[in-house]
Amino acid sequence: MKNIFLKIALFISTTISCVQLNAQQERGKLFISILGGYTTASGNFTKTEYTNIAAGYAAKSGLNIQLHSGLFVSKNLAIGLVLGSRFFQTTGLQSLSDGYLDDFDVDSTTVTLSGDYINMNYLVGPTYTFPLGKLSVDVHVLAGLSTLRTPEMRVDLEDNAAATFYQRVSTGNGLGIQAGVGARYFFSEKVGVELRVDYFTATPNVIIQNENRTNNAGRFLNTYKQQIGGIGASLGISLAL
């Protein structure tokens, strides 16, 4: 968590420094948007088969929010920055519970999941903009750090508290790449709306923190490294500075 705050602070200070540099040199312009919307995921990350060790039990759609900005270095070209988060709930947990029931040969199991998958991204890259009066359309390709935080899982075997085991909240990093197209429409000189569609891909390597796994039995993950990408559509307010 401390790491995330440090990265956010770094991003904010970088953005502010860029603006200050821009002002000092009196050239280039900055836009900054706050967006939210829908995002998808696919592949093993969304599968729900107990015997598939790569299955992530993530929902196929989730929420995304992002701070999107661009600092123009020429009329059309800007350095784009995205600080974004994607949230996916878990799904299909019954198969997980049934699988542990069978694998430990017990009378009952209870699986409790707390929290969502949270994918945070810190991306930078070129943005090319086509100004069309009040409307401007841009395409960008961004790359950077992508982190994945897993939910916490608790598995109770029958009513024996000593047998309860946990898969604690775990995080991992990887390279994230985002490419997409967006349109900004300005109602006034400074304020407008932005609509964008982006494809995102990342494969963070999460080291899973397990607790109280006394015996080698049942589904067991000590790492999770699967593609968590998808397509996202988002809408929000944009400011030209």
Partner 1 sequence: MKKHNFIIRSLASIILISNLFIAGCKKEEQVVSPPLPGNEFLTTVKLVLVNTANNDTVIAFWRDLTPEDSNPADTSLAVLNLKENSTYKATVYLLDETKTPAEDITEEIKERANYHQLFYFPSSNLGANLLVNVTDSDTNSPPLPLGITSNFITSSAASGKVNVILKHQPNVKNGTFAPGSTDIDVNFQVNISN
Q: Where along the sequence are the contacts to partner 1 (CB under 8 A)?
A: 8, 11-12, 15-16, 19-20, 23, 30, 32, 34, 36, 63, 65-67, 83, 85, 87, 89-90, 93-94, 96-98, 100-102, 104-116, 118, 120, 149, 157-158, 160, 162-163, 165, 212-218, 239, 241
Minimum Å gap between C-beta 239 and partner 1 is: 6
Minimum Å gap between C-beta 129 and partner 1 is: 19
CA-CA distances (angstroms) from residue 181 to 197, 225, 231?
Answer: 6, 28, 12
Judged by CB, which is closer to partner 1: 18, or 137?
18
Judged by CB, which is closer to partner 1: 125, or 218?
218
Judged by CB, which is closer to partner 1: 165, or 224?
165
Distance in angstroms (rounded) separating the CA atoms of residues 88 and 196: 20
Judged by CB, which is closer to partner 1: 115, or 133?
115
Judged by CB, which is closer to partner 1: 130, or 159?
159
Minimum Å gap between C-beta 154 and partner 1 is: 9
